[in-house]
Structure 1
Amino acid sequence: MTEDHLPPDTARHSSRPGPAGGQRSPVPAFGSTGGRHNISRGARRVAGVDAARGFALLGMTAVHTLDLWNDDAGRATLNGLLFSGKSSALFVTLAGVSLAFVSGGRAPSAGRRMVAARWSVAARAVVIALVGLLTGLLDPEPENILVYYGMFFLLAIPFLHLRIRYLLLGSALFALLGPLLVWWARTSLPSADAYEDPTIVDLVTHPLAVGSNVLLTGAYPALAWMTYLCAGLALGRMDLRSVRVQVRLVLAGGALSCLAWGSSLLALHVLGGYDAIRRATPWISERTIDQIVVVEPDSQMPTTTLWWLVVPGPHTNTPPALLLCLGTAVATLGLFLLVPRTVSTWLLPLAAMGSMTFTLYTAHLAFMSFDVYENAPSLWFWAQIACFALFAVLWQRTVGQGPLEKVVSAVTHDVRRRVLARDTAPDTPA
């Protein structure tokens, strides 16, 4: 959400010696030859990632503003089907892609450059989390992902040097083991629901409770949602300029979503999971169970039976739910990487929004702390999107980076510079 939108680490890579005579990676920013054509392809790649991030912002705004479930009809709305859980999963997956960009691109950085990348990611995490904790004081209606985002980045630091296969393995392990840890925490830890939207005051007064919430029991439990970040890191290590890779992302993402959804329906309706859930939770109606399966629970997931772990509903934090949303995120990224080749002009507002989602999402949370949108949700949804697009396009053309993005960029670049200067100091002649 606070990415620099150009791979700063890879953008400086060349075959010339680095500081203190160290050899830099031969991988340039936008291609193996560094020619004009490759720069154009690289620019399209970044525009595609930004457009996908802008689409995620649009989806999260819709989820927070519009209805997800039609009570009269007893079914999910189109908004609920398209965006619930999937937009936030796309956000976190794209965060992993951007972390891959700033830690070496297709070839992970090594040595002092990796040390500098890790420290800059840690600084990025602190700034994002701090803004999230301060925004929480406004008590916005939707869950605030910013604090969790900071934790995602901190947890990603040990994974920055890994290759694609190990990142995918890590994503799979988080998808399988994370839900079990979340389940255990919600049935064992006291005050599991105490801090749905932690603030800076909560962190000071009850740091352990806030920590357990962000890691395990909150709206975006980090130990489960690292599924998306590890997968995003793996995607960022791929050649996202390649049409073949882009098509494979669309096909693989779609296949993963279908597999997750199909296996969940098999467990629920063929193996008896749905009936077991209904027997173990008799105070919940079938319509409510259906809502959890399709859209998301109104509050915390019940823990009356382990069969709940086969439910595919967004924000249930079960293995099928994580893999379903991951599949849609991967497919969406692939589509946006393909689309700019033919209709890039139409995506300019979306890409501009995606280049400053930290700023716009924070503004969205501030707006949602007021109740004015409840009387005319559709009007206020489109008003937000129009304002976001207009502001983003004008700001990007006149200033460049978004306001909060500029702050994060300044902090992280300063940290990177200091780490590299510290590491090269012993080699400096007296």
Structure 2
Amino acid sequence: MVDVHHPAPGARPAEDGPALPVVHRRRLVGVDAARGLALVGMMSTHILPAWNPETYGPTLQWELFAGRAAALFALLAGVGLAFSTGGRTPHRGRTMTADRVGLLVRAVLITVVGLLINQVMPGDPPAYDILVHYGMFFLLAIPFLHLPVRALFGLAAAAAVVGPVLMQALRRVLPAPEVYNPTFADVLAEPGTVLAQVLFTGTYPAAPYLAYLLAGVALGRLNLRSARVQGRLLWAGLALAVGAWLVYWVLVLRSGGYDQLLSSTPWLSEDQIDEIIVWGPDPVLPDSSWWWLLVPGPHTNTPVAILQDLGSGAAVLGLFLLLARRIGAWLLPLSAMGSMTLTLYSGHLLALTAMLHYEVPLLWFAIHVVVAALFAVAWHRSFGRGPLERVVAQAADAGRRLVPGAGGHAGASR
């Protein structure tokens, strides 16, 4: 949900000198289209059924998008952060300081938007709002924006392991979430509980999700206009996703790990354990055994699940970048949606509060997607940046200007 212009490969930013002339490069359609797919995936998991009423197995959309759509959102947010802080050549000095101030402003505003939406959400909400967590994602990413690609990938791998371990280790000392979607009143009444929810105990905990952000920043520092890089993203992502699943298959399904889950949680049957693996925990995994950190599944936020979702996200990004080289114009509905996901996601959540989608979910899913696509294409052609994106970007630029001598603005290049 970071809307920026993509800088030229290798462009060197202003550092401590006067403002440089701004040259906007053509947006990478594949990045926007992948972000649009993530939005459609989030809509599908919010509206469409998770299981087949005849077989009671998971539906295709659940298997494709549950957990993965949110992870792709976060990964692409990291890519956007890389674009807005210098692209392949990270900004330095006061310019990077200004970038950090702008990102701080952006994080606060996105959190406020999320809290405002949560104010009108029912107590048993039709969807879990990611925006409040998104603000924390950005705050945690601020110290790492200047790092080189290898360091970012290394820290992403560390976050994929340390984040889930901390979640399990701190379960018994942190307060449990009291609401699904915290509001301003919750922040004022129980700030510690809300902070724990956003960092560790919620559906989108920032501690493990930092892995997606940092990996995305690393990917955004690569030359994503190169066909070779795009192809490597596709195949490396697929290899990582399959490799993570094989870890689960070998250690849990073939080497006694599943028996350890059963023995450590005698209050859960095999069917209940399988339900957690297929449909996810409510809201977090049991902390009775470290073997739980080897299961996949939506919103389990284990190292295996994170690496699997990172791999699938990288593969999707590589695939759409390759497709955009050939059929970029045909991706317009997705890419236009992807260029204004903050606006469209917010509108989608507000529409869900009417609670009209339960009787005919397929019809309402189609309505949400078609209306979002038509609005995005029309607005994009007429005005460019989405309405909420425009407001947040202007505020972030104002924050950047508070840093004297920074020069330029987010996404500017020589």
Residue of 117, 120, 124 corresponding to 2:106 = 124
> Could you say if the C-alpha distance between residues 282 and 389 of structure 1 is closer, same or farther in structure 2, counting changes exceeding 3 Å?
same
**CA shift at 1:19, angstroms?**
6.3
Q: State the aligned residue count.
A: 405
After TM superposition, the structure 1 = structure 2 runs for residues 20-39 of structure 1, keeping only pairs within 5 Å, are: 20=17
Please state if 1:293 is matched with 2:292.
Answer: no
> Could you say if the C-alpha distance between residues 174 and 19 of structure 1 is closer, same or farther in structure 2, counting changes exceeding 3 Å?
closer
Contact 2:95–2:407 (Cα < 8 Å) also in 1: no
- Match of 2:126, as an amino acid? E
Q: Could you say which residue in structure 2 is the equivalent of 1:238?
A: 222
Distance in 2 between residues matched to 1:107 and 1:420, nearest whole Å: 21
**CA shift at 1:288, angstroms?**
2.9
Please state if 1:283 is matched with 2:243.
Answer: no
Q: Any idea what SS the aligned residue of 1:70 has? A: coil
Contact 1:60–1:87 (Cα < 8 Å) also in 2: yes
Contact 1:195–1:218 (Cα < 8 Å) also in 2: no
**CA shift at 1:108, angstroms?**
0.6
Q: Could you say which residue in structure 2 is the equivalent of 1:110?
A: 92
Residue of 281, 296, 304 corresponding to 2:288 = 304
Distance in 2 between residues matched to 1:195 and 1:74, nearest whole Å: 28
- Match of 1:7, as an amino acid? H
> Could you say if the C-alpha distance between residues 162 and 278 of structure 1 is closer, same or farther in structure 2, counting changes exceeding 3 Å?
same
Please state if 1:3 is matched with 2:9.
Answer: no
> Could you say if the C-alpha distance between residues 19 and 13 of structure 1 is closer, same or farther in structure 2, counting changes exceeding 3 Å?
farther
> Any unmatched runs of 5+ in structure 2?
409-414
Please state if 1:369 is matched with 2:369.
Answer: no
**CA shift at 1:69, angstroms?**
2.5
Please state if 1:67 is matched with 2:67.
Answer: no
Contact 1:267–1:273 (Cα < 8 Å) also in 2: yes
Contact 2:117–2:346 (Cα < 8 Å) also in 1: yes
Please state if 1:179 is matched with 2:164.
Answer: yes
Contact 1:69–1:291 (Cα < 8 Å) also in 2: no
1:45-80 superposed Cα distances (whole Å, 9 cap, x missing partner): x21111000000000000111122336424221011
* TM-score normalised per structure 2: 0.92
> Which structure is richer in relative contact order (CA contacts within 8 A, separation 6 or more)?
2
Q: Could you say which residue in structure 1 is the equivalent of 2:140?
A: 155
**CA shift at 1:14, angstroms?**
5.8
Q: Could you say which residue in structure 1 is the equivalent of 2:412?
A: none
* TM-score normalised per structure 1: 0.89
Distance in 2 between residues matched to 1:18 and 1:284, nearest whole Å: 58
- Match of 1:88, as an amino acid? A
> Any unmatched runs of 5+ in structure 1?
31-38, 425-430
- Match of 1:161, as an amino acid? H
Q: Any idea what SS the aligned residue of 1:135 has? A: helix
Indicate the structure with greater helix content.
Answer: 1
Contact 2:144–2:152 (Cα < 8 Å) also in 1: yes
Q: Could you say which residue in structure 1 is the equivalent of 2:411?
A: none
Residue of 55, 59, 65 corresponding to 1:83 = 65
Distance in 2 between residues matched to 1:390 and 1:94, nearest whole Å: 23
After TM superposition, the structure 1 = structure 2 runs for residues 323-338 of structure 1, keeping only pairs within 5 Å, are: 323-338=307-322
